[in-house]
Amino acid sequence: MSDSSAAAAVGAATLPAILVEGLGKVFASPAGLRDMLRGRLFGDPVTALSDVSFAVRPGEIVCVMGPNGAGKSTLVRILGGLLLPSSGRAQVAGIDAGAGTAEFRRRVAFVVGDERSFHFRVSGRGNLHYFAALHGLGAAEARRRSGELLARVGLSQAADRRYREYSRGMRQRLAIARGLLGDPQVLLLDEPTLGLDPRGARDLRAFLREEIIRGAGRTAIVCSNDPTEARAMADRVLFLEGGRLHAEAPPDRIEAELGL
């Protein structure tokens, strides 16, 4: 590596993996009957995020905590490029999140544990093959990569069972495998252990942290309202409340910050 490229690499390494500046999101709620009688097409606007700014270093795991409705899912969807902000900007893996480019979607994986996001009547393997094609993989490469990822998340034995027969934990693992199809630099995880039993949640957190994130040198944002999850996974915790960044703390200060 030449001096200039080495310097560029060092520079790139010190750039934040995620940079959020003055991010805001206001939703226009649908008009109710009273609004329409007043000649209004929309109801009162709902502010989901307001002036949120933070940065995440490469390789860092940051947990975003907050009560229901705090704006966690809105934030992670903006970072994943699935939602456009009303104000401010977000840069993830060096690309503007609102740009919606294919390269952005390759570098950033939004791992949603939403069990509705797979085809229920198709096997886990079949579902992964389909998403592999959406990542541009040919049939042989899709088979190889899907098999490798299914093994990695511990679903090899159940790969050919229909998705609807999967337990909640298996569905979460399949969602993680899907998120890794493109070998992303940044993982955005929205409540990854939601609904799992305590032991299943503990195992999944350890697996995510050590193998999927740390082991591959990835950066991750984990949205959760579970202090146990934040302690087990995060290097740093951000607290959202009412759409605003309320505080920031290391994981061992969560209880103090939350007043528990």
Partner 1 sequence: MSAPAASFPWFLRVLVAFVRRELAAVGAYRMAFAIRVLGFGLAVGSLMFLSRFVGAAVNPHLAAYHGNYLGFVVIGFLGTEFQQVGVSVLAQRIRVAQMMGTLEAEVATPAPPWMVLGSPPVYEFVVAALRSAAYLLGAKLLLGLDLSHANWPALAISAPLIIAAFSGLGLLAAATTMLVRRLNPVAMVIGSLSFFLSGVMYPVTVLPGWLRLVGRLLPLTHALALLRGTLLIGSGLAELRSSLLALLAFAGLLAPVGAGMFAFALRRARVDGSLSHY
CB 200 to partner 1: min, Å: 22
Judged by CB under 8 A, does residue 32 bind partner 1? Answer: no
Site string for partner 1, 98-117 (x = CB under 8 A): --x-xx-xx--xx-x-x-xx
Judged by CB under 8 A, does residue 239 bind partner 1? Answer: no
Judged by CB under 8 A, does residue 139 bind partner 1? Answer: yes
Nearest to 70 by CA among 47, 104, 98: 47
CB 152 to partner 1: min, Å: 17
Among 74, 91, 185, 225, the residue binding partner 1 under the rule CB under 8 A is 74
* Residues in 9-28 that interact with partner 1 by CB under 8 A: 27-28
Judged by CB under 8 A, does residue 133 bind partner 1? Answer: yes
Instruction: Give the footprint of partner 1 on this chain (CB under 8 A).
Output: 27-28, 74, 77, 80-84, 100, 102-103, 105-106, 109-110, 112, 114, 116-119, 121-123, 126-127, 129-139, 142, 162, 178, 181-183
